Amino acid sequence: MALDPLTAALDIGGKLIDRLWTDQTQRNAAKLQLLQLQQSGELSIIIGQLKINELKAANPSLIVSGWRPALGWVCVLGLFYQMIVYPLVIGIYPAIMPLDMGTLLTLLLGMLGLSGLRTTEKLSNVAAK
Domain boundary among 21, 37, 60: 60
Average pLDDT for residues 85-114, to the nearest whole number?
88
The answer to whether 39 touches 45, Cβ cutoff 8 Å, is: no
pLDDT band at 1 (very low <50, low <70, confident <90, very high): very low
Q: What rounded mean pLDDT belongs to the chain?
A: 77
The answer to whether 81 touches 100, Cβ cutoff 8 Å, is: no
pTM value > 0.85? no
Question: Are residues 41 and 79 both part of a single domain?
Answer: no
pLDDT tens figures, 27-40: 888 778 777 776 76
Look at the chain and report how many structural domains it folds into.
2
Question: Are residues 47 and 70 both part of a single domain?
Answer: no
Neighbours of 114 (CB within 10 A): 13
Domain residue limits at 80: 66-129
